[in-house]
Amino acid sequence: MAPSKQLGFAVVGLGGISERAILPAFRHSKKTKLVALVSGDERKARRLAAKFGAPDYYTYDDYVLCLHHPQVDAVFVATTNGTHAEYTIRAANAGKHVLCEKPMANTVEECREMVDACRTNNVRLMIAYRKYFEPASRALKALVRSGRLGRIRILHSAFTIYLPPGKGSPAWKFDRQQAGGGSLVDVGVYCVNTARWLVDKDPIEASAYAWSLDPARYSEVEENVSFQLKFPEGIVLQASSSYGAAQASFLHIHGEKGWAALNSAYAYDEERRLFGKIGGRWFEKKFKAMDEFVLELDAFAESVRRGRDPEPNGLEGLKDVAIMQAIYRSARENRPSPISFAGIGPA
């Protein structure tokens, strides 16, 4: 890819996150351009193509035509979770790079197929974790790496959103086949991935409890889940996610010499405060809300231009799915569940 060339994208899936955040980001990205949209609703695709300046649009039935578009270099997969693998693998087989929304897929097996397809076709695969690029999170990671907090002992985190009864909530989020799970895979995954990223370690055991206050509505997926992940060197994450509480997110990290907190931690459109105490001295810094999706798009384009594996790559997404499966297993069996990455192999 020439240094001056913008990476041409097709966005597949035009749900709320695409319309509110992904598509607007292309207006400000210097390294990517929006070429095409793909949706199950042709009228919606036409409307959003006109609104966001995409020259072409397609239905899911015509996805193959999109993949043959000469200006489409990459695909942003933002469909329902249960179809991430299908659209990623088809894109890879057509020689297109893939930026895939989290969670990567519903099963470890699907994730492995996605990684294999991208590796076989020599295309890049990145999972859309904005935290790797967002300034406040990067500042927290730098603080952890500096050693100023001392050895890390405990992390606390939560991400909650409220899905009101009625037609305002997407039906697919309550369908296990389409969603893969409930609040854990939708918002709790941020707690899982960010903890791993901050401490540069993978957990070895999960314990969890899942519950719902409306069993009829949440007959296939969980409304709430609280879980504990044990990491090497005695590090423990305590976390919760919910579909039944007002939107909020936080991350606290406690070390031998001090503690730090990020609030809000995961929402993409709110001011962030990074604060805490080190050696008894208070610190605080504010970060204005910004377009994190632009940072994500440009980072992916740069990895393609340089011919290197992006961060976070498919292996990171796969590990998160394996961890969430262990969390679900622990909740079902009411006992700790070991986490193994044996056989996962290289990215």
Tens-place pLDDT, residues 95-111: 999 999 999 999 999 99
190 and 267 assigned to the same domain: yes
Helix and strand element counts for the chain (H, E): 12, 15
Let me know if residue 99 belongs to a domain.
yes
Let me know if residue 332 belongs to a domain.
no
pLDDT over 80 at 345, yes or no:
no
Query: Which band of pLDDT confidence, cut at 50, 70 and 90, is reported for residue 276?
Result: very high
Least confident of 35-49, 157-171, 177-191, 287-301: 157-171
152 and 282 assigned to the same domain: yes
Structure tokens at 194: 């960010």
Number of other CB atoms surrounding residue 42 within 10 Å:
14
Number of separate domains in the chain? 2
Per annotation, catalytic residue among 132, 190, 218, 243:
190
204 and 243 assigned to the same domain: yes
Q: How far apart are the first and last CA of the chain?
A: 22
Query: Which band of pLDDT confidence, cut at 50, 70 and 90, is reported for residue 1?
Result: low
Of 239, 256, 289, which residue is a domain's last?
A: 289
Is 33 labeled as catalytic in the residue annotation? no
Query: Which band of pLDDT confidence, cut at 50, 70 and 90, is reported for residue 79?
Result: very high
Let me know if residue 319 belongs to a domain.
no
Let me know if residue 326 belongs to a domain.
no
Sign of CA dihedral 192, 195, 198, 201: negative
User: Between the CA of residue 250 and those of 17, 88, 147, 263, 273, what are the distances in Å?
Assistant: 21, 31, 21, 5, 10
276 and 303 assigned to the same domain: no
74 and 169 assigned to the same domain: no
141 and 284 assigned to the same domain: yes
Q: What is the CATH number of the domain that holds 91?
A: 3.40.50.720
166 and 109 assigned to the same domain: no
Give the 3-state secondary structure of residue 78.
coil
Gap between the Cα atoms of 194 and 211, Å rounded = 24
pLDDT over 90 at 2, yes or no:
no
**High-pLDDT (> 90) share of the chain, %:** 95
111 and 188 assigned to the same domain: no
What is the overall mean pLDDT for the chain?
Answer: 96
Gap between the Cα atoms of 181 and 164, Å rounded = 18
Let me know if residue 334 belongs to a domain.
no
118 and 195 assigned to the same domain: no
Between strands 97-100 and 125-127, the pairing is: parallel
pLDDT digits (tens, 9 = 90+) for 234-257: 999 999 999 999 999 999 999 999
The amino acid occupying position 38 is V
pLDDT at residue number 342: 76
Structure tokens at 343: 């056989």
249 and 150 assigned to the same domain: yes
User: φ, ψ for residue 255 (rounded to 5)?
Assistant: -120, 180
Per annotation, catalytic residue among 102, 131, 141, 319:
102
Query: Which band of pLDDT confidence, cut at 50, 70 and 90, is reported for residue 72?
Result: very high
Residue 80 structural domain: 7-130+299-309
Q: What is the CATH number of the domain that holds 177?
A: 3.30.360.10
Gap between the Cα atoms of 252 and 232, Å rounded = 19
Let me know if residue 342 belongs to a domain.
no
Is 131 labeled as catalytic in the residue annotation? no
Let me know if residue 35 belongs to a domain.
yes
144 and 121 assigned to the same domain: no
pLDDT at residue number 166: 81
Gap between the Cα atoms of 123 and 119, Å rounded = 6
pLDDT at residue number 344: 73
Q: Stretch 277-286: mean pLDDT, rounded?
A: 97
Let me know if residue 15 belongs to a domain.
yes
Structure tokens at 231: 């990491």
64 and 142 assigned to the same domain: no
pLDDT over 80 at 167, yes or no:
no
